[in-house]
Structure 1
Amino acid sequence: MNDAYVKQNTQNNIATIEFFHPEQNSLPGNILSLLAQTITEAGNSPEVKVIILKSGCDRTFCAGASFKELININDAETGKVFFSGFANVINAMRKCPKFIIGRIQGKTVGGGVGIAAATDYCMATKFAAIKLSELNVGIGPFVVSPAIERKIGVSAMSQIAIDANNFYDAEWARSKGLFANVYESIEEMDAAVEAFALHLCTYNPEAMLEMKKIFWKGTNDWDSLLAERAAISGRLVLSDFTKKTLEKFK
């Protein structure tokens, strides 16, 4: 039974976009595609002034790419298409003319860290540890690293990418600039997210749009850059090392 979904609810000029997958909010291609589409549509809606991006359930924000799909990749083109899923979500967030507030309730891994980094302002609980685990399976965070590097810098990004076995806690992520605030509980975080989103709605939408353009200056090549990165991952996922490693997860 697959209860995965992407849903949007708009109230008081705030679009709340929520994604969910029963396997710790890991993201298969169809959910990534729907998420990118929903973000684009919300960004283009005249009713929406601010977007909140969240995931379902209490424990994990996003476990990254779907291992079931990863294991079944048998050619480079399929691999590129698969890894382009996260590229499309990040580019949709980058191009979205509205501020996106990230709501990170728990652990996030791999592509999920990239999504958190692509939000414009990110709030988390103390349980929101992060990890870039891609090197463990013989690939790397090629698609998401530009978004992460943009937010926390090359040094911090390379540290967690190389140290692929370990989670880094929410306070570490806050100290590097990934999270703006860290809260003791989901309830505290949700109250803060709602209050912040409502406050942003009182600002001039044109000013926020122009600010967002400035924040994302220098990323106009990301459509092609992230596609190139997806091709690298699509090639590496076919390597003997990665195939043997993924067999262990079957």
Structure 2
Amino acid sequence: MPENGTISHTVNNQISTIEFFHPKGNSLPGKLLMELTQKIEEASLHPESRVIVIKSGGDGAFCAGASFDELLAISNLDEGKEFFMGFANVINAMRRSTKFIIARIHGKVVGGGVGIAASADFVFAHTSASVKLSELAVGLGPFVVGPAVGRKIGVGAFTSLSVDARSWYDASWALTNNLYSKVLDSLEEMDEAIAKLAGELAASNPQAMKELREIQWNGTGHWGPTLEQRAEISGRLVLSDFTREFIEEFKKK
């Protein structure tokens, strides 16, 4: 697979499958974030698609979050804001979709990956799928993903996850706190369960699903300007010497 990562979107039996891959733990540099947003919007508008499945390639981490190399390359506020808007745009594209989104989660889930999981309507996860919001540990904070994660798991659980930024929280914790919908013991079981639910949704009334999704996402219309403001905060913080030193330290681990 290409060194800079790939994004694909296929439609089969009225099910859109979007898959992203990056050789560094499925991390998401700016270009992949932009392409992921485009694929989600494409799937949301596709006339032959009724449900969306988001997954990542390989059998390692689901998503390692932001690209540290790209974070260190940021040299001014505009570049910083633009990078973090990549995550904001993905979350907003998922929020605005008229189709239910299923996430397939395996392995470690970090930072922005937690935001993707939280923005999905139904999440199937493998027992290996531990989560971490590591932003505070590198001098930042989960500002952009915060609204999505907080909406899904509640203020208390989000506070625990964001403050305890160096700890992994296992799949059982994520299930108990509603980040995950179902946790399965094998990838084969998970894929069978995803195919079953996606098939059932594809056969359901599209208008009913659209109306139900609008009700479930009620009250999030302000996320456009809110996430942009959060991206600016992150873009400013990533320029600090404190944050750069912490990112360099994390890269060595």
With the shorter chain as reference, the TM-score category is over 0.9
The percent of aligned pairs where both chains have the same amino acid is 54
Q: Secondary structure at the match of 1:43?
A: helix
Counterpart in 2 of 1:185?
186
Using the alignment, how far apart are the partners of 1:172 and 1:247 within structure 2? 30
Give a deviation string over 1:69-93, Cα, whole Å, max 9, x none: 0011111111000000000000000
Q: CA deviation at 1:246?
A: 2.4
* Alignment partner of 1:5 is 2:14: no
CA distance in 2, matches of 1:57, 1:40: 24
1:30 aligns with 2:31: yes
Structure 2: runs of 5+ lacking an equivalent: none
Counterpart CA distance in 2 for 1:243 and 1:32 is: 22
In the other structure, the counterpart of 1:200 is 201
Please list, as runs of the form range in 1=range in 2, the aligned pairs for 1:25-174 lying within 5 A after superposition: 25-174=26-175
CA distance in 2 between partners of 1:147 and 1:190 (Å): 25
TM-score normalized by the length of structure 1: 0.98
Q: Name the CA distance, whole Å, in 2 between partners of 1:246 and 1:113.
A: 19
Instruction: Give distance in 2, aligned partners of 1:183 and 1:191.
Output: 10
Structure-1 separation of matches of 2:12 and 2:85 = 31
One-letter amino acid of the counterpart of residue 160, structure 1: L
Measured against aligned partners, the alpha-carbon deviations of 1:188-220 in whole angstroms (never above 9, x if no partner) come to: 101100011001112110000001101111111
CA shift for structure 1 position 244: 1.9
Moved over 6 A (4+): none
CA distance in 2, matches of 1:108, 1:13: 28
Using the TM superposition, give the Cα deviation of residue 106 of structure 1 relative to its aligned residue in structure 2, in angstroms: 1.4
Report the Cα distance in structure 2 between the residues aligned to 1:169 and 1:199, rounded to whole angstroms.
29
Q: For the residues of structure 2 that align with 1:132 and 1:109, how far apart are their CA atoms?
A: 6
Give the structure-2-normalised TM-score. Answer: 0.97
SS of the counterpart of 2:104?
strand
CA distance in 1, matches of 2:232, 2:200: 41
Distance across 2 between alignment mates of 1:247 and 1:198? 45
Q: Write the distance in 1 (CA, Å) between the matches of 2:205 and 2:190.
A: 25
Secondary structure of the 2:17 match is strand
Cα distance in structure 2, aligned partners of 1:42 and 1:137: 34
Show the counterpart of 2:219.
218
Number of aligned positions between the proteins: 250
